[in-house]
A = this chain, B = another copy of it.
Amino acid sequence: MKVAVVGASGYTGLELLRILLRHPRVELVAATSEQRAGRSVGEAFPSLAGLMDLVFEAADPASLADRADACFTCLPHAASAPTVAALRKGGAAVVDLSADFRLRDPAAYAAAYGEHGAPDLFGRAAYGLPELHRDRIRGADFVAAPGCYPTSVLLPLTPFLREGLVEPAVHVDARSGVSGAGRKLAEDYLLAELADNVTAYSVGGGHRHVPEMEEQAGLAAGGEVRIAFVPHLLPLIRGIATTVFARPLGPLSGADARAVLERAYAEEPFVRVLPEGATPSLASVRGSNFCDVQAVVDERTGSLVLLAALDNLVKGASGQAVQCLNLMQGWPETEGLLEAPLVP
């Protein structure tokens, strides 16, 4: 199958190239980058030298839709929507990694991101979290890959919401490696500012991923869910580690809590419920499409503590996007994705 990556020189785009290179059913036919158009991929990114012959090109959606059966779009929000619209019009299947098609509520989109670039398509993509929406993604031709933080919150939390076991207001403290911000030139992302450092940001409810989490959590709960979300920047490249504190609505033992996760994920290839006593760690998922989860009941407060770890560029972005493509095509869901994490 012929595939193109639009916005291929950013971190999620490069990660798609890395993953697709080893995907046995995919042929990469185009990689676009406005800034690097005309340069070979291997010359612009020496890590890829000797592995592929592509030359970056400027994005021309009509031509891409012509040459590729499916396109991954890795553009900033707002910029993504019109490109996606053009690709869809040209007949290409699309997995969009921007925030433009993740939400269902246009007001929530407008509040978080401003005007939408393709309002006709808004709400038309399947939300690409296969563990929650597999049936909707299977066979679809337009999927919105979830945000990295939402994936790390929804995977451990939704089973409890679905079973009505916890109050619909939770506290979340999350930490992300800096690749989540992309290759953005800002002082905050300089090594000299960020190394040996940890800082919270967007505290108080302002992070743009919150409406996405709340919307999907609400779908699982069958009612409104409120999330107090405190994200932090970590002095490392890849990984999200998330803690969710929830209050059980009735008696809930640690064994009960673990059983909820095990029921939900026993058959899932990419969600690993850790053995009792183990806690998720970023190292154990580095470079892989796994999300490791754990549930513990705090003995002092009775609160439920949920922990999750994933690689924000893989299960939090490009790996999950490929998992969606596999489903869309009816291929084995794990195709190209069962790589072992890079440990140590």
A residues adjacent to B (C-beta < 8 A): 11, 14, 17-18, 21-22, 43, 45-51, 169-171, 173, 175, 177-179, 181, 183-187, 189-201, 203-206, 210, 214, 226-230, 232, 234-239, 241, 243, 245, 254, 269, 272, 274-275, 278-288, 290, 292, 294, 296-301, 303, 305, 307, 309, 313, 338-344
Please tell me how many copies of the chain the complex holds. 4
Whole-angstrom CA separation of A228 from B269 in the bound complex: 31
Q: What are 9 A-B pairs at a CB distance below 8 A? A: A46-B292, A183-B187, A191-B194, A196-B283, A198-B281, A199-B282, A203-B294, A226-B300, A232-B241
Q: Which of B191, B280, B287 contacts A178 (CB 8 A)?
A: B191
B344–A237 CB distance below 8 A = yes
Chain B residues, CB < 8 A from A342: 18, 286-287, 342
Closest B residue to A275 by CB, please name it. B43
Whole-angstrom CA separation of A189 from B344 in the bound complex: 13
Chain B residues, CB < 8 A from A226: 300-301
Q: Which of B18, B193, B341, B343 contacts A283 (CB 8 A)?
A: B193
Closest B residue to A311 by CB, please name it. B342
Closest B residue to A230 by CB, please name it. B243
Whole-angstrom CA separation of A58 from B251 in the bound complex: 45
A193–B183 CB distance below 8 A = yes
Closest B residue to A279 by CB, please name it. B200
11 extra interchain contacts, Cβ-Cβ under 8 A, other than A47-B288, A169-B303? A18-B342, A171-B301, A175-B232, A185-B190, A193-B344, A199-B283, A204-B298, A228-B245, A232-B241, A287-B342, A342-B342
A311 vs chain B, min Cβ distance (A): 10
B287–A287 CB distance below 8 A = yes
A198–B296 CB distance below 8 A = no
Whole-angstrom CA separation of A72 from B298 in the bound complex: 35
Q: Which of B169, B190, B206, B297 contacts A190 (CB 8 A)?
A: B190
Whole-angstrom CA separation of A300 from B307 in the bound complex: 22
B235–A235 CB distance below 8 A = yes
Among A190, A269, A344, the most chain B Cβ lie within 10 Å of the Cβ of: A344
Chain B residues, CB < 8 A from A303: 169, 171, 228
Chain B residues, CB < 8 A from A22: 22, 339-340
Closest B residue to A17 by CB, please name it. B340
A150 vs chain B, min Cβ distance (A): 15
B300–A343 CB distance below 8 A = no
Assess A296 versus B204: contact at CB under 8 Å? Given A171-B303, A199-B280, A237-B344: yes
Whole-angstrom CA separation of A191 from B243 in the bound complex: 24
Chain B residues, CB < 8 A from A191: 178, 189-191, 194-195, 235-237
Chain B residues, CB < 8 A from A294: 203
Chain B residues, CB < 8 A from A301: 169-171, 205, 226-228
Assess A281 versus B43: contact at CB under 8 Å? Given A301-B228, A305-B228: no
Whole-angstrom CA separation of A269 from B51 in the bound complex: 9
Whole-angstrom CA separation of A182 from B307 in the bound complex: 26
